[in-house]
């Protein structure tokens, strides 16, 4: 790519005592791309995004954002540097309205803030306008968030992060625990954000189908190390499956599974009956 990366991660290490969660991870994230971060449980994905979002600090290595070396002390530091993280729980209050959730902690006031008079009309207008830029989950800014679908809530959380300055959007398993229709809503939202061309998206997922649908580039982690990377064109379906399994050959895994017992359906019941 000719453009400069918005994030450069160089030999990032994170240890707790003798345990190494990340063992020298390096990758670049560019504006206008969806970069899928893939790997099985325990691969190091969560540790990496928590360093990017200011929850953890790296033990060693460089995190460079817009050309500036960073070691975030708090999530506020990461947000100030333009990194917005949308976690699975979304940090939304279900009984509050769309606009109140959108401006939670950053409310607009009429006159001096000390008077405490909220500018509800302005917040409603802005919230709907920003949400509709990347989707159309609601026409009512007063709608309680608890009545929205999971996909609609994801769109709200993403729009909120962008409005408040995210240049890098970290989406942590955004399609998990959603129905198929809601999953498609979220993937469409991701592609609308991508089409802006100015925001980098880090897409953490276990779903290889979703990754192949929206991602431009892939990085695969296993046990805290990068075991593969490439573009959609570089990686065939079987290669993606292979790397998502941590580099284990799927054929070998199948053989191991079939080797338990006789490998024939119902064999355990037959053996139990014979021994009765």
Domain 7-245 has CATH 3.40.1350.10: no
Q: How far is CA 152 from CA 134, 144, 164, in A?
A: 11, 12, 19
pTM higher than the cut 0.75: yes
| Paired tokens of 218 | 């892939």
Q: How many helices (H) and strands (E) does the chain have?
A: 10, 10
Question: How many CA atoms within 13 Å lie on the side-chain side of 96?
Answer: 15
Per-residue pLDDT of the chain (276 residues; tens, 9 = 90+): 568 999 999 999 999 999 999 999 999 999 999 999 998 888 899 999 999 999 999 999 999 999 999 999 999 999 999 999 998 777 789 999 999 999 998 999 988 877 788 999 999 999 999 999 998 778 899 999 999 988 899 999 999 999 999 999 999 999 888 888 889 989 999 999 999 999 999 999 888 888 888 999 999 999 999 998 988 777 666 666 666 655 554 455 556 656 665 455 544 444 444 454
Q: Which of 28, 25, 27 is nearest to 6 (CA)?
A: 28
Give the chain's end-to-end CA distance (angstroms, integer).
Answer: 67
What is the model's pLDDT at position 60? 96
**Rounded distance, CA 210 to CA 241, Å?**
13
Judging by beta carbons within 10 Å of its beta carbon (0-12, 13-18, 19+), is residue 254 exposed, middle or buried? exposed
DSSP string, 187-235: HHHHHHHHHHSS-EEEEE-S-HHHHHHH-SEEEEEETTEEEEEEETTT-
Task: Check if the beta carbon of residue 167 is closer than 8 Å to that of residue 200.
Answer: yes
DSSP string, 85-113: EE-TTTT--TTSBHHHHHTTTS--BSS-G
Bridge pairing between strands 200-204 and 34-38: parallel
What is the model's pLDDT at position 268? 45
**Rounded distance, CA 179 to CA 164, Å?**
29
What is the model's pLDDT at position 72? 96
What is the model's pLDDT at position 211? 87
**Rounded distance, CA 197 to CA 8, Å?**
18
């Amino acid at each position: 790519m000719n453009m400069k990366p918005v994030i450069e991660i160089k030999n990032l290490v994170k240890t707790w005592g003798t345990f190494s969660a990340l063992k020298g991870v390096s990758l670049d994230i560019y504006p206008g791309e969806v970069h899928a971060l893939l790997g099985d449980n325990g691969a190091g994905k969560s540790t990496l995004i928590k360093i990017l979002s200011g929850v953890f600090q790296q033990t060693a290595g460089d995190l460079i954002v817009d050309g500036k070396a960073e070691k975030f002390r708090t999530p506020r530091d990461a947000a100030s540097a333009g990194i917005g993280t949308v976690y699975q729980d979304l940090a939304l209050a279900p009984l509050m309205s769309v606009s109140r959730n959108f401006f939670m902690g950053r409310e607009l006031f009429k006159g001096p803030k000390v008077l405490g008079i909220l500018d509800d009309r302005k917040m409603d207008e802005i919230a709907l306008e920003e949400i509709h830029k990347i989707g159309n989950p609601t026409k009512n800014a007063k709608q309680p968030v608890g009545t929205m679908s999971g996909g609609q809530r994801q769109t709200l959380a993403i729009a909120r992060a962008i409005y408040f300055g995210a240049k890098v959007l970290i989406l942590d398993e955004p399609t998990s625990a959603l129905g198929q229709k809601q999953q498609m809503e979220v993937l469409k939202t991701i592609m609308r954000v991508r089409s802006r061309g100015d925001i980098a998206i880090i897409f953490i997922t276990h779903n290889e189908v979703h990754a192949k649908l929206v991602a431009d580039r892939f990085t695969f982690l296993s046990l805290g190390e990068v075991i593969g990377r490439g573009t959609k064109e570089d990686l065939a379906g079987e290669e993606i499956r292979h790397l998502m399994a941590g580099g284990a050959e799927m054929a070998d895994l199948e053989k191991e599974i079939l080797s338990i017992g006789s490998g024939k359906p119902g064999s355990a019941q037959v053996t139990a009956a014979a021994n009765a």
